Structure 1
Amino acid sequence: MRGSRRTRISLLAAATTAALLGTGVTTVLAAPGPDAAATPGASVAKAVPTERIIVGYTARADEATSNTEARDDARDKGEDVGESLDFKRRLGTGAALVDLGDKLGTKDVKDVMAAYAADPDVAYVVPDTRMYAAAAPDDTYYPRQWDLFEDRAGMNVPGAWAKGATGEGVNVSVIDTGYVNHSDLAANVVSGYDFISDAWMAQDGGGRDSDPADPGDWMNRGECGTDRNGQPVPARDTNNSWHGTHVAGTIAASGNNAKGVTGIAHRAKVQPVRVLGKCGGTTADIIDAITWSSGGTVQGVTGNPYPADVINMSLGGGGACDAGTQSAINAAVNRGTTVVVAAGNSNANAANFNPASCKNVIAVAAADRQGNRAVYSNYGSAVDITAPGGETSPNTADGILSTLNSGTRGIGSENYVAYQGTSMAAPHIAGLAALMYQTSPGITPAQIESAIKSNARPLPGTCSGGCGAGLADATTTLSALGAR
């Protein structure tokens, strides 16, 4: 167990002050403004007026069994403090539920409770408090995150949160395009590294350095050469993807901050490790990134202060797993790091893609909102598990909503956009793995994979070609680890 991981579990305490759940659904995907936190229904705690109290009488008291006596007692105590009290009903425990009449101020409620507490026939008196679901966050766009909670094809994440799993104390490295600043992620981002060694590909004015900021990965048609058929790569001009920031948001966007989306492991620390820029990335850079992220040594690079419990690689290329990448993955797993990879988006056999076909990884296929294998998702025996990846056509609401930026060829303003892909499915599993590390700190990568697969449920739709063990289920998996 790495020293940064803590096993403390945060639970919602019953109290007369509760955090109200957000209920509004907005169709605008720009980042909420600075006043979002003050909106009714946001995370600002609001005092809930006490309208009833629960009175437990001692066994010797007549009021403990007689509703008439309990009613008379309520009337008498009400007269004593100048309020109108009324016995409502008997609870299953035998306690009396007493209505306070008009909504009383805090002082008046205390006076009523003090009158009961002073009675030697009263064992206890407590407010009848209002409670709310412990797991559902108040983030503005959470109602649009079907991939987390919908019964049919969601990953059943709220039940895992209800068990106290948030990813707290767990480190997740996102080996991708880097990170563009986003206020819904910033609290959970730790320092990373830029492993792009080619300055032209890096597009940030230099080669490798300690700044994993994503300047954008836009490309002009044909800028990256030609494919095997002599066609220009890319086939058309492209704008910035901000891919790494989208992936990171699915894993660890801040939860219960009354804005945007919530990550699956919304208290985990996410580390941006940049390997993809203009025209993609190189195997050599990715190998070094895997090594460094997992706590290994890379010549000329200062050691990682946040060695990863989980690595997410939503990237890939054609061909079977190469020996160099496999060696880096094996070493990472031997250090205790779980490696999660995307199966690929070519509607083809994942065995022909790298790193999806590597051993000792969790290769993730994508499901659509109906629980079918997404039309683009790779498949086959190399796939270990399926997770929500979405389909944005014809309906963007069926994609995976996460953190992004509006800039097309430069950095713009933060926003939220729905993407589709096995790149979106993989971080669902990385987030689940983070919850598992928090719940069971001594767990190994092999046990992580086994538990996710053995607790998956069948896809509710169809899958041709092989979708691994089925659709991942966060709640069932955490329950299997003993989380309560």
Structure 2
Amino acid sequence: MRTLSSSSGSSSPRRKLISVAALSAALLTAASAQVAVARDAPSGRAAAVPAAGTGAAPATPVERLIVGYESGAAEARSDRAAAADAAAKGEKAGEDVGFQRRLGTGAALVDLGERLTGADVADVVAQYRADPQVAYVVPDRLNKPLATPNDTEYTKQWDLFETTAGMRVPAAWDLATGSGVTVAVIDTGYVAHSDLAANVVGGYDFISDTAVSADGNGRDSNPADPGDWYAAGECGQATGSNSSWHGTHVAGTIAAATGNGKGVAGIAYHAKVSPVRVLGKCGGYDSDIIDAITWASGGTVSGVPANTSVAKVINMSLGGSGACSTATQSAINGAVNRGTTVVVAAGNENRNAANSSPANCANVITVAATNRAGGRASYSNYGTAVDISAPGGETRTSAANGILSTLNSGTRTASTENYASYQGTSMAAPHIAGLAALMKSADPALTPDRIESAIKSNARALPGTCSGGCGAGLADAAKTVQAVKGGTSTGSTFTSTTAVPVPDNGSAVESPITVSGRGGNAPSALRVGVDITHTYRGDLVVDLVAPDGSVYRLKAAGSSDSADDVSATYTVNASAETADGTWKLRVQDTAAQDTGRINGWQLTF
């Protein structure tokens, strides 16, 4: 069910020169959430333009300005002079403008008084721009934490963030990180790994047959993975196999420590993982798996101590042939009735998942695997039993196209910890288990059926192809977590999938969506999903234009943002706007050297 292969490196970001004239033209819009202005500096050099893409809240009114004066100006040295200048410029603009304080850089912080419209702010900014003693004037923007991990291998985790076929996880981290949720990984157990250890809680070894356990004993409270290797001729196989450390790989995808400056990032990196061992040499028995499901979800198993780390999500990246047995179905039903979501792998036989158990059981979320292009992986099972698809990787052409996670270098017994890329529906399932943990963290009241419904209803169409049936599509973590954050699982969504080219350093382009049948005003938390392909995304200014022409800034340009593509969901307070009508996504490239395209976008009311 899995293939081991090495991982590969990634290229470093490049630097670009930003066209100040082009940037300035796009920075100020009448109803914009942000204002930033630059003029030519002495000697024809471009004045420094502070990075605009720092996460300012969409549609946040500008209340203060930061004004930098030329070094020779009296206002650069004297607070009294800066205060007098602010008052004078406010009087000319017809607004109440006042000096507030001096910043550490020497710039002046200017208060705009009562909340002003975009046009009012523009009048004040114009007064400062006309002053040759002013080097720059920019908004004092409201920032928020940005969840971009510093984990050293994160750039190789395409499955989390790539525009084409990633699961759009980073934007979900602004809303939830898995805190308060335990995920049981019913698998081969756990081999110690420093990038996962902080999130591991008590588990159990449910393997009762010592021939399978390979650890010299039966059931006990130690879920350590001793290795599941076998020799040629064993396990019904002509050739042997090294230890897989499969459960540790799965667990790392779900909850590897994140932001710790090493290794990989976990999807629900503040969740806890409970390793529950059921697979050993040659596999594992239904009877042990049934007890593991029961215990992990808080049920009682004779002879086994009560579980003190009850899981609200179970991941089972395992399976076999045949129908779902009544015994297994009974255990799953019991877990779901206790409030635990059960996620299972569809299987890796390139056949209908109806012939694989527990993929064909009821009350589970069955997960097919997609490759880096967003199509069904060649090995993945398919069919009506599949509920959703998630990245599982495909390493035939490159290990870089697999799923990178925590592992061990030992071929038989444990050796040194490492990281490696695997492929399989075993890798796809923990993506959904991690997403379920994020959802449960965002709204603890969510039931298993609501979690499944929300994952499916907020999925996006597979970017690639799928023959045979891949469920509701490719899971979208950001959209799904946003949908449940307020306690509701779905909203009315209007989508445009028409591609619109974005010219290099040119005029703004627009993509329309016509909304009808809503009535009344748009919500205070209108969700705007954006999918744009563009190298060096710092070039881009992205706005939402309401039917009456009001403009809401979604993303400003930023000279320091060298990453590629914009794949994000923004939240806009559009309660002042009529919902019905034609909304537009406006995109402008403000610097030379790159072109791109709007792949699509959507509004969720």
Task: Provide the TM-score with structure 2 as the length reference.
Answer: 0.61
Question: Size of the alignment, in residue pairs?
Answer: 404
Deviations 1:158-205 (A, max 9, x none): 11112x310011010000000000000001000100000011211111
Contact preservation (8 Å) 1:26, 1:141: no
- The amino acid across from 1:192 in the alignment is G
Contact preservation (8 Å) 1:70, 1:96: no
Separation in 2, partners of 1:70, 1:459? 49
Match of 1:405 in 2: 408
Equivalent residues in 2 for 1:295-306, closer than 5 Å: 295-306=298-309
- The amino acid across from 1:438 in the alignment is S
Separation in 1, partners of 2:244, 2:112? 69
Match of 2:159 in 1: 147
Deviations 1:413-453 (A, max 9, x none): 11110000000000000000000001111010000000000
Residue number among 355, 361, 368 corresponding to 2:364 in the alignment? 361
Task: Report the CA distance between 1:79 and its aligned residue.
Answer: 3.6
Match of 1:192 in 2: 203
Task: Report the CA distance between 1:249 and its aligned residue.
Answer: 0.3
Following TM superposition, the consecutive aligned residue runs of length 4 or more in structure 1 with deviations greater than 4 angstroms are 69-74, 94-98, 108-113, 119-123, 126-133
Deviations 1:366-397 (A, max 9, x none): 00000110000000110000000000111000
Contact preservation (8 Å) 2:9, 2:156: no
Residue number among 169, 172, 184 corresponding to 1:160 in the alignment? 172
Match of 1:325 in 2: 328
Instruction: Classify 1:336/1:73 alpha carbon distance in 2 versus 1 (closer, same or farther; 3 Å).
Output: same
Separation in 2, partners of 1:196, 1:375? 32
The Cα RMSD (Å) is: 3.8
Contact preservation (8 Å) 1:347, 1:377: yes
Instruction: Classify 1:72/1:346 alpha carbon distance in 2 versus 1 (closer, same or farther; 3 Å).
Output: closer
- The amino acid across from 1:206 in the alignment is N
Instruction: Classify 1:381/1:79 alpha carbon distance in 2 versus 1 (closer, same or farther; 3 Å).
Output: closer
Instruction: Classify 1:111/1:80 alpha carbon distance in 2 versus 1 (closer, same or farther; 3 Å).
Output: farther
Match of 1:440 in 2: 443
Which structure is higher in strand share? 2
Match of 2:4 in 1: none
Alignment of 1:373 with 2:376, yes or no, is yes
Match of 2:230 in 1: 219
Deviations 1:119-139 (A, max 9, x none): 99999xx99689797021111
Match of 1:395 in 2: 398
Separation in 2, partners of 1:147, 1:72? 48
Separation in 1, partners of 2:96, 2:416? 56
Match of 2:73 in 1: 75
Task: Report the CA distance between 1:75 and its aligned residue.
Answer: 3.0
Task: Report the CA distance between 1:481 and its aligned residue.
Answer: 1.3
Equivalent residues in 2 for 1:26-175, closer than 5 Å: 27=9, 75-80=73-78, 110=104, 134-162=146-174, 164-175=175-186
Contact preservation (8 Å) 2:205, 2:278: yes
Alignment of 1:335 with 2:338, yes or no, is yes
Separation in 1, partners of 2:111, 2:473? 60
Match of 1:182 in 2: 193
Match of 1:294 in 2: 297
Separation in 1, partners of 2:240, 2:112? 81
Percent identity (aligned): 62
Residue number among 418, 421, 430 corresponding to 2:421 in the alignment? 418
Deviations 1:82-137 (A, max 9, x none): xx9xx99x999x89999x9xxxxxxx955958xx79x99999xx996897970211
Equivalent residues in 2 for 1:218-237, closer than 5 Å: 218-224=229-235, 233-237=236-240
Instruction: Classify 1:316/1:122 alpha carbon distance in 2 versus 1 (closer, same or farther; 3 Å).
Output: closer
Task: Provide the TM-score with structure 1 as the length reference.
Answer: 0.76
Match of 2:216 in 1: 205
Gapped regions of structure 2 (runs ≥ 5): 1-6, 11-48, 51-62, 115-137, 487-570, 572-605
Separation in 2, partners of 1:287, 1:220? 28
Separation in 1, partners of 2:106, 2:139? 11
Residue number among 262, 267, 270 corresponding to 2:270 in the alignment? 267
Contact preservation (8 Å) 1:402, 1:416: yes
